[in-house]
Amino acid sequence: MQHSELILVLDFGSQYTQLIARRVRELGVYSEIHPFNLSIEKIRKLKPKGIVLSGGPSSVYAPDAPHSSQELFSLGIPILGICYGLQMIAYQLGGQVDTSARHEYGFAEVLIDNTSDLFAGLNGPMKEGRMTIPVWMSHGDALTKLPRGFEPIAHTNNSPICAIRNVEKKIYGVQFHPEVVHTVQGKEILRNFVFTICGCRGEWNAGSIIDEKVEEIRTAVGSNNVICALSGGVDSSVLAVLLHKAIDDRLFCIHINNGLMRKDESEKVVRLYRDSYHFNLDHVDASDLFLDRLKDIIDPEQKRKIIGKAFIDIFEQEAKKMSTVKFLAQGTLYPDVIESASSKGPSHTIKTHHNVGGLPEKMNFKLIEPFRELFKDEVRAVGRELGLPEEFITRHPFPGPGLAVRIMSDITKEKLRIVREADEIFTEEIRKAGLYESLWQAFAVLLPVQTVGVMGDQRTYDNVVALRAVRSLDGMTADWAQLPHELLARTSSRIVNEVRGVNRVVYDISSKPPSTIEWE
Ligand code: XMP
């Protein structure tokens, strides 16, 4: 898809690269990430209004360090180098980078030497006759000699040159990270680059792409039919509604109840999509098959494999009934796309979740992936624009293998009942407290231990439920949520009283890393 304004981000392997693109998009300008070695020819074709060189873990002088092409700097396109990106500019244009005497990690105070263009409109206390702003640093090397034609525009007590510019060539660099929230005025700095320096107008937003996507889908699909696995999660819900807008009753949705979903989840999906939206919806209750195949299985990886395989088997069987279907729609998101692209570049792939892994190759479907360019919060924006009920849009993420990864032992109907009811109570209390939307996820886990309790005059020997609630921006890192004690107390008391088989509730106070969000 051709966007009228694009800010191109070249990835040198920073863990924050995605954040750069997200911040730019939040400013209303479409932004895309490509590997650092994207050819000049391709860059020209993309016609970016500006280029951001990301940070990265290397030292510019290391033997295998990623380098940009010299030509990049004579294209006449404005450039902003961040951290390693700044050092790259210096390295390529004749400056000098050395290992700093003191590494800077975390908060630093930057003194702004020039408050025009890149740093215009910032606020901060004055020190030594300069405005100061708090920033986030993460670097070992530092710039020690300016490249020719450049001037310094900021410094810290450790780095005499912390930001540079060449106004004539429109090349800028900062040692700190404006894209992370800890650099409080970072967004203002990016705004100055994108609007003042690159001259963007900022007319992009996720919702505004609906009409173009609808057209794109219609053109790709022609008069064919499309199949879509509809779990009821945010991505598949928004995907189905968008497809329905584009091709109406040539969309065939399959909803598979694997028996591992949250309370009443499957029923809600069917009610909304079949009864209210009148989609062609094939609702398959395969709970028994899934539970049969999972019998006595304890190992989480084995559980995941069995569930994935069973899903494909059933999907395949249902899809065969619709022999006229040529296309499969998937809710692949931008982070999956960039992760796989940059595995060729310096970024390390962390984890990719594929929605319907293996299906397209196995069944000869052609793929439709309208969200390949979008981040999760942007998919939510599309969903809102399409009028999907808020409950489906703000729903916490839920793993594909469902409650199977929240039962720390073999899976039985009885255990599913316990974890489901406990989960429902916790969610209800969080909603009542008005906290649901501020949390990334909140859920219950059933532990494989029984402990002694006393209820009435009776000694009990029953199950332990662990509650987990986390705050996170993208699921990659997460902090455990410091929920109010009254809320935890009420939830614990309700679970013990209302869920048969539980006599103890604990709260998980681990962050990610070192823990993960799910227990398995
Ligand atoms: P972890 O547990 O790795 O989870 O910190 C990060 C995010 O991913 C979700 N998750 C999954 N999603 N299939 C999925 O579709 C899975 O197997 C899976 N495991 C974890 C998890 O809920 C969290 O939001």
Structure tokens at 405: 């990864």
Q: What is the pLDDT of residue 35?
A: 93
Q: Is 516 in the pocket of ligand 1 (CB under 6 A)?
A: yes
If you average pLDDT over residues 338-344, what whole number do you get?
A: 52
Among 79-83, 98-102, 144-148, 251-255, the range scoring the smallest mean pLDDT is: 98-102
Please indicate whether residue 151 is annotated as part of the active site: no
Residue (of 216, 224, 275) closest to 246 by Cα position: 216
Q: Which of 83, 162, 228, 253 is catalytic?
A: 83
Distance of CA 391 to the CA centre of its chain: 20
Cα radius of gyration (the chain)? 26
**Are residues 274 and 374 part of one domain?**
yes
Query: Two tokens at 388?
Result: 């999907």
Cβ of residue 402 lying under 6 Å from some atom of ligand 1: no
The answer on pLDDT for 108 being more than 80 is yes
Ligand 1 atom closest to 520 (CA):
2
Atom of ligand 1 nearest to the CA of 440: 24
Residue whose CA lies nearest to ligand 1 atom number 18:
399
Question: What atom of ligand 1 comes closest to residue 396's alpha carbon?
Answer: 24
| Residue 300, ligand 1, Cβ within 6 A | no
Residue nearest to atom 9 of ligand 1 (CA): 399
| pLDDT at site 419 | 98
How many domains in the chain?
A: 3
50 and 21 assigned to the same domain: yes
List, for residues 444-473, the tens digit of each pLDDT value. Answer: 999 999 999 998 888 999 999 999 999 987
pTM: predicted TM-score of the whole model, two decimal places: 0.80
Q: Please tell me whether residues 164 and 242 are part of one structural domain.
A: no
pLDDT at residue number 359: 59
CATH number at residue 411: 3.30.300.10
Query: Is 83 among the catalytic positions?
Result: yes
pLDDT tens per residue, range 255-310: 999 999 999 999 999 999 998 999 999 999 999 999 999 999 999 999 999 999 99
Work out the percent of the chain whose per-residue pLDDT is above 70.
95
- Ligand 1 atom closest to the Cα of residue 441 is 24
- At 358, the pLDDT band (50, 70, 90 cuts) reads low
Q: Kindly give the distance from the C-alpha atom of residue 473 to the centroid of ligand 1, in angstroms, as a whole number.
A: 14
202 close to 28: Cβ distance less than 8 angstroms = yes
Question: Considering only CA atoms, which of 429, 235, 421, 222 is closest in space to residue 329?
Answer: 235
Q: Are residues 190 and 212 in the same domain?
A: no
Q: What does the pLDDT read at residue 304? A: 93
Q: Is 335 in the pocket of ligand 1 (CB under 6 A)?
A: no
pLDDT, the chain, mean: 91
Is 177 a known active-site residue? yes
The verdict on residue 401 lying in a domain is no
| Atom number of ligand 1 nearest to Cα 351 | 3
180 and 84 within one domain: yes
Locate all alpha helices (DSSP H) within 49-154, ordered by sequence.
Answer: 84-92
CB 204, CB 85: distance < 8 Å: no
Q: Domain boundary at 370, 393, 416, which?
A: 393
Q: How distant is the alpha carbon of residue 136 from its chain centre? A: 21
- Ligand 1 contacts CB of residue 399 (under 6 A): yes
Residue 513 lies in a domain: no
Residues 418 and 444 reside in one and the same domain: yes
* pLDDT confidence of residue 187: 96
Residue 371 Cα to ligand 1 middle (Å): 19
| 381 and 420 both lie in a single domain | no
**Ligand 1 close to Cβ of residue 518 (< 6 A):** yes
* Whether 211 and 182 share a structural domain: no
Catalytic residue among 34, 177, 255, 396: 177
Domain boundary, last residue among 333, 365, 393? 393
Band of the pLDDT at 344, cuts 50, 70, 90?
very low
Per-residue pLDDT at 171: 98
Question: What's the rounded Cα separation, in Å, for the pair 48 and 117?
Answer: 20
Range with the poorest average pLDDT among 245-259, 342-356, 403-417, 473-487: 342-356
Which of 353-357, 387-391, 507-511 has the least mean pLDDT? 353-357
Is the confidence at residue 132, as pLDDT, over 60? yes
Query: Distance between CA atoms of 395 and 503, rounded to whole angstroms?
Result: 29
335 and 440 belong to one structural domain: no
CA of 399 to the centre of ligand 1 (A): 5
Tens of pLDDT, residues 142-175:
899 999 999 999 999 888 899 999 999 999 999 9
Domain boundary among 393, 425, 443: 393
Of 203 and 103, more confident? 203
What CATH number does residue 381 fall under?
3.40.50.620
Identify whether residues 244 and 358 lie together within a single domain. yes
Cis peptide before 152 (omega within 30 of 0): no
| Closest CA to ligand 1's atom 7 | 475
User: What domain range includes position 124?
Assistant: 6-197
187 and 286 co-located in one domain: no
